[in-house]
Amino acid sequence: MRKLKVYLDTSVISHLLQEDVPEKMADTRQLWECLRMGSMRFICLQWL
């Protein structure tokens, strides 16, 4: 089975530590756990 490829905007990454928005922080932590477990593939693009 192919892994889902996910593009993350920087605002998604920044929600990892945003205690003032707990629902977004929880969603972001869940996403990072999926990435850590290998159920998704993280793609990082660098814009110049």
Tens of pLDDT, residue by residue, the chain (48 residues): 777 777 777 777 788 888 999 999 999 899 889 888 888 877 776 664
Residue 48 pLDDT:
46
3-state secondary structure (DSSP) of residue 7:
strand
| Residue 7: both structure tokens together | 């593009």
Residue 25 pLDDT:
92
Q: What gap in Å lies between CA 4 and CA 34, rounded to an integer?
A: 11
Q: Per the domain annotation, does 25 fall within a domain?
A: yes
Strands (E), the chain: 4-7, 40-43
Let me know how many helices (H) and strands (E) the chain has, helices first: 2, 2
Number of domains in the chain: 1
Q: Per the domain annotation, does 22 fall within a domain?
A: yes
Q: Per the domain annotation, does 48 fall within a domain?
A: no
- Residue pair 25/31 in contact by the 8 Å Cβ criterion: no
Residue 47 pLDDT:
62
- Residue pair 40/34 in contact by the 8 Å Cβ criterion: yes
Domain that holds residue 32: 4-43
